Amino acid sequence: MGDVSIYDVAKVAGVHSSTVSRAFSRPEAVKPETRERILRIAGEMGYRVNSLGQALRRGSSNLVPLIVPDITNPFYGELAKSVAAAAGLRGYQVVLCLTEGDADETYRFLDAMSAHLSPFAIVAPSTRIDAGVLERTALARRTVIIDRVPQGLQVPTVFIDNRLGVKLALDHLLELGHRRIAYLTGTVGTYSAEVRVEAYRALVADHGIEPVVIRGGYSLAATERGAAEFLAIDPRPTAVIASNDLAAFGFISRLAEHGVRVPEDVSVTGFDGVPIGDNFNPGITTVAQPFDELGALAVAVAERFADDGSIVHEVLVPTLLVRRSTRRLL
């Protein structure tokens, strides 16, 4: 059988070709029983929607790029799941774009997805975004930034209250009796990493505690360096706030290699609340981001921005998940 056209489906279904078109592009505009008959007949005949043709007629496709720096950090996996679920409910398909931390890749992906008539984009950049460069692409003017707040860029943002998150972790450790509390940094240069470490410095100063900042990260080299710095401190901190869960995982694993137990010898908290933290040994006490809300808001804000240019900045509230990696100081 040759290619089945929309006119072939319409003839068999006994409807006008425009009704078939609406059944696929605007299903709410077709009576349910008619739509179901059209979809059944189209499936039996092997009809496939010409997505490109639809996009060209509308001037917009349903392909939405989600641009992230990597997928080794489970934070981005959870983010991708929540964005894809929220986008799917609105009729969009998410295209995952991986930059490997290269800011130039962000601009290339935006250019490429502009050619695919994407209605908007969602970007979780690895570093601060250069407003001047980003605004060179048409799609960048319909972009929502997630998890970071760019300077001087007039686009919507959706991000967590990082300072509150650090405060939740610190207050938890203080309540457990800890006073020598260190901070393990994340990837240098990222917005969230900078905000969290500065929040730590300010918050411990409010309690009269000397800040102790350990250089961390989630690569093997970074976790080994972080563990070595911790082991060299005298007296050692009794608790450590890690900038993210993945850094906490690596840090705890390296400490175990040196016979340092968590939480018996040192309490450790994470940040992000990725589900795997509950299965880690020990389960990680962590500041949890509301991933479902994060994805849903990002899509809703992006769609609104693309429709009417509304620029809003949504700040989400984190919560503390207390597990077995922290304990009361004896």
For residue range 245-300, list pLDDT tens digits in order.
999 999 999 999 999 999 999 999 999 999 999 989 999 999 999 999 999 999 99
pLDDT at position 16: 87
Closest Cα to residue 315, out of 66, 119, 145? 145
- Point out which residues pair with 144 in neighbouring strands: 122
Neighbours of 316 (CB within 10 A): 16
Token readout for 150 is 């760019």
Q: Which two tokens stand for residue 111?
A: 């250019």
For residues 289 and 136, the answer to whether their CB atoms sit within 8 Å is no
| Three-state secondary-structure class, residue 161 | coil
HSE-CB at 219 with a 13 A cutoff on CA atoms is 7
Residues 30 and 19 sit within 8 Å (Cβ to Cβ): yes
Angstrom distance (rounded) from CA 288 to CA 275: 9
Averaged over successive runs of 10 residues, the pLDDT of the chain (330 residues) comes to: 74 86 71 85 76 49 85 88 89 87 79 77 72 61 74 79 97 97 84 89 96 87 91 96 93 95 97 92 95 92 85 92 94
Per DSSP (E only), the strands in the chain are 63-68, 93-98, 121-123, 143-146, 157-160, 181-184, 212-214, 239-242, 267-272, 285-288, 313-316, 319-321
pLDDT at 198 (0 to 100): 95
Q: Angle of helix 245-257 relative to helix 220-232, nearest 10 degrees?
A: 60
What are the structure tokens assigned to 90, written together? 């609105």
**Residue bearing tokens 């060179």:** 136
Q: How many Cβ atoms are within 10 Å of 281's Cβ, its own excluded?
A: 11
Of the candidates 42, 32, 40, 30, which has an alpha carbon nearest to the alpha carbon of residue 6? 42
Question: Which domains are present in the chain?
Answer: 6-49 (1.10.260.40), 59-160+291-317 (3.40.50.2300), 162-288 (3.40.50.2300)
pTM: 0.79
pLDDT, residue 56, reads 42
Beta bridge partners of 122: 66, 144
Torsional sign, CA 179, 185, 191, 192: negative
Give the pLDDT confidence score for residue 273 in this predicted structure.
Answer: 94
Residues paired with residue 121 on neighbouring β-strands, in sequence order: 143
Q: How far is it, in rounded angstroms, from Cα 168 to Cα 164?
A: 6
Q: Is residue 143 within 8 Å of residue 123, measured between CB atoms?
A: yes
Q: Residue 217: how many CB atoms within 10 A of its CB?
A: 22
pLDDT reported for residue 152? 61
- Name residue 64's beta-bridge partners: 94
Instruction: Tell the residue number behind the tokens 């696929």, with chain if given.
Output: 24
Q: What pLDDT is stored for residue 172 in this prediction?
A: 98
Beta bridge partners of 67: 97, 123
How many other C-beta atoms are found inside a 10 Å radius of the C-beta of residue 4? 15
pLDDT value of position 46: 79
Tokens of 42: 């189209």
Helix (H, G, I), strand (E, B) or coil at 118: coil
